[in-house]
């Protein structure tokens, strides 16, 4: 069941989101199916490793295999991908932090208030 238009406005505001980075609410995101995670890695002190962009920074530098990053940042992203793959998750082409279960579309939309991140 898709999220209704009034919930979409409360969640996303009046601005039309860039569909390369934000899912149409009529099809639903994999987060709203309960099968996707946004994650990063922490060092021993609990500080996030540098991945080259901020979390939820929606631009080509955020793509997991963006080639023009320093080698250490590429290694950090590869490590995150390896850890998540070992847990059975797959990444997406546009966000280094996003991982989901295979066949995510097979799961139903939850359509609850938490699908909109605290709505």
Q: State the pLDDT at residue 24.
A: 62
| pLDDT: which is higher, 28 or 32 | 32
98 beta partners: 38
CA 67 to chain centre: 20
Residue 93, both tokens: 């082409």
Residue-level pLDDT at 119: 42
User: Which residues are marked as active site?
Assistant: 95
32, 100 contact by CB (below 8 A): no
Distance CA 105, CA 58 (A): 23
Domain range summary for the chain, segments of one domain joined by +: 1-35+107-119, 37-100
H helices of the chain, where? 5-12, 71-86
Q: What is the pLDDT of residue 16?
A: 54
| Tens of pLDDT, residues 59-80 | 999 999 999 999 999 999 999 9
Q: Residue 44: CB partners within 8 Å, gap ≥ 6? A: none
């Amino acid at each position: 069941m898709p999220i209704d238009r009034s919930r979409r406005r409360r969640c996303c505001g009046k601005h039309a989101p860039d569909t390369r980075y934000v899912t149409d609410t009529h099809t639903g995101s994999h987060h709203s199916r309960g099968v996707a995670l946004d994650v990063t890695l922490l060092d021993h002190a609990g500080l996030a490793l540098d991945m080259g962009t901020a979390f939820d920074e929606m631009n080509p530098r955020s793509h997991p295999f963006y080639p023009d990053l320093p080698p250490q940042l590429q290694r950090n992203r590869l490590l995150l991908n390896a850890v998540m793959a070992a847990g059975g998750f797959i990444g997406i082409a546009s966000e280094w932090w996003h991982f989901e279960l295979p066949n995510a579309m097979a799961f139903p939309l939850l359509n609850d208030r938490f699908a909109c991140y605290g709505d």
